Amino acid sequence: MAWRSGGIRRAFDPKVRRRRCGTGGCRPAAPFCCAAWLCHCARRALRQSAAMSNLIIRQAASAADMAAIRDLCRDYRQVLVDRLPDRPEILANYYAEADYEALLHALPEKHARPDGAIFVAELDGHVVGCGMTHRVGPETCEIKRVFTAEAARGHGAARQIFAAAMAQAKADGYRVMVLDTLVRLVEAIALYEKLGFTDWEPFYDLPEGFGDLVRFYGKEL
């Protein structure tokens, strides 16, 4: 009876064994290694979980947190300098050094509760990522300056910052989250789209000549 059951036949069918596993995309090497297959996938899932186990997402709570956030934002500005060597007007308009430093020191006020929030990603006791929200409409908030240090790469820090920010925004009564980005930040755009953000109407007026570089995204919470 067991050998006639569809489940047993599928488990040992060499045509079926090549299907990808849901957790890791691995394939068993032989039709009789189902247990080894499951063990391999479980070990892989545990390794991935362990890699993220020391990552904490929380709201900024101290002057030290804000100092680390400002350093991360300066690193982000340098990324833009490197990505936009042919468009200095972008940096001049949005990231002029003196104005940007003044903005960084005003972040606690610009993103203060209850209309906003500032999040940090902490890995092994060190702040390695940040992100922040603020109100741009009655039921709409904007998420800005999501950036992670090299040490955080591979831990899902940016994704988790977004998750925390969206959960907090929803709890605060927002119905929509929006953001803007530069078309050359392709890695960021890929993340936004995976998180369900789609093309959105501009929520501020762009300076003339910037339309080819700036994209707007939004997501209902």
User: Are residues 59 and 125 both part of a single domain?
Assistant: yes
Number of domains the chain contains: 2
Q: What is the CATH number of the domain that holds 66?
A: 3.40.630.30
Place of tokens 């391999």: 40
Q: Which of 151, 126, 149, 139 lies closest to 75 in space, CA to CA? A: 149
Residue 50 within any structural domain of the chain: no
Digits of tens for pLDDT over the chain (221 positions)? 333 334 433 333 444 444 444 444 444 444 334 444 334 444 454 344 444 458 999 999 999 999 999 999 999 999 999 999 998 888 888 889 999 999 999 999 999 999 999 999 999 999 999 999 999 999 999 999 999 999 998 999 999 999 999 999 999 999 999 999 999 999 999 999 999 999 999 999 998 888 888 999 999 99
Beta-strand ranges (E) seen in 149-213 are 176-182, 198-199
Residue 94's pLDDT is what? 85
Neighbouring C-beta atoms of residue 114, cutoff 10 Å: 8
Q: CA separation (Å) from 13 to 1, 18, 158?
A: 17, 9, 41
- Please check whether residue 177 is in contact with residue 142, taking contact to mean a CB–CB distance below 8 angstroms: yes
Residue 25 within any structural domain of the chain: yes
Provide the domain limits for residue 38: 2-45
- Please check whether residue 217 is in contact with residue 183, taking contact to mean a CB–CB distance below 8 angstroms: no
pTM: 0.75
The C-alpha angle 95, 97, 98, rounded to 5 degrees, equals 120
